[in-house]
Structure 1
Amino acid sequence: MTTEFVPYLAYDGDCESAFKFYEKALRGEIVAMLRLADAPPDVPRTPETANRIMHARLKVGDRVLMGGDAPSGLASKPQGFCVSMQVDEPVEAERVFAELSAGGRVMMPIGPTFWAQRFGMFTDKFGVPWMVNCEKQPG
């Protein structure tokens, strides 16, 4: 049996903007972006909610990040988790950290630690907490 855990992020109307931002920063590809307007007619929506994203999927290499806009009035601030990103090269870790943290709030600037060549923590401009980690090479 194969099990994979995939972060599914909830937004309050800005999922599309967030995923386009991530697509650029992570050099990925949005492979799904479904709006309430795309759903069958029996799915409840109003003219104000028709453009909300029901489901988005971003592919980065062989990994996936998914999300959508929470139903109107039910969005909540993310807490108790972060998206942890493992990066192979220090230069790439620094680039990703700089791009994703732009406009957000840095809690720990990226730099070397006792376990990593580079590690940093931030909350992006959409309120999603992230960690970027580039582990030390064994040896």
Structure 2
Amino acid sequence: MTLTLTPFIQLDGKAEEAIRFYEQALEAEVVFKQTFGDAPADPERPMPDSLKGRVAHSVLKVGDAELFVADSETESSERPGSLVCVCISTADVARSQRLFESLSRGGRVDMPLQPTYFSPGFGVVTDKFGVVFQIFTKRD
């Protein structure tokens, strides 16, 4: 069973600038980029115009590794600069659920593991040491 850990840098409105910087500084290649505005509309949770241009997710290829860069969904006084978290990718929801439950013991669930438009099982948890993990299940 494959398990991948990827560094994920979240910024407060500066992701686009950071991506351009990493393209030069790290010779990174952008292999995927999506804004919040590119996501399917959710009538129960309308998106403010100020969020639509922010980077929801990007994947940069740096040598043989990947680096994820995105903007936070909302401006936050808790994270005035940036947040580095770890994205754990698995191939099945059951394994994602086990990892999510293990990491949440003594920690905090920030977003329950659930199906989303981009994953059959995605969630965010902060472990008891304050490290943020995104659990991402790949589509078949």
Are 1:17 and 2:17 matched, yes or no? yes
AA partner of residue 12 (structure 1): D
SS in 2 for 1:7: strand
AA partner of residue 39 (structure 1): A
SS in 2 for 1:49: helix
Deviation at 1:79, TM superposition (A): 7.0
Identity %: 35
Partner of 1:30: 30
Partner of 1:54: 56
Deviation at 1:73, TM superposition (A): 2.5
SS in 2 for 1:45: coil
- The aligned length equals 81
- Counterparts of 1:40 and 1:65, CA distance in 2: 24
Partner of 1:108: none
Matched-pair contact (CA < 8 Å) for 2:10–2:84: no
The structure number with the bigger radius of gyration is 1
- Counterparts of 2:18 and 2:59, CA distance in 1: 12
- Counterparts of 1:79 and 1:10, CA distance in 2: 5
- Counterparts of 2:58 and 2:73, CA distance in 1: 14
State the TM-score, normalized to the length of structure 1.
0.51
Residue ranges of structure 1 left out of the alignment (5+ in a row): 82-139
Residue ranges of structure 2 left out of the alignment (5+ in a row): 86-140
**How big is each residue's C-alpha offset from its partner over 1:38-88, in whole Å with a ceiling of 9 and x where there is no partner?**
01011642111110110011001210000211121236145798xxxxxxx
SS in 2 for 1:9: strand
State the TM-score, normalized to the length of structure 2.
0.51
- Counterparts of 2:40 and 2:2, CA distance in 1: 32
RCO higher in structure (CA 8 A, sep ≥6): 2
Partner of 1:70: 72
Matches within 5 A, 1:1-139: 1-42=1-42, 44-74=46-76, 76=79, 77-78=81-82
- Counterparts of 1:58 and 1:21, CA distance in 2: 12
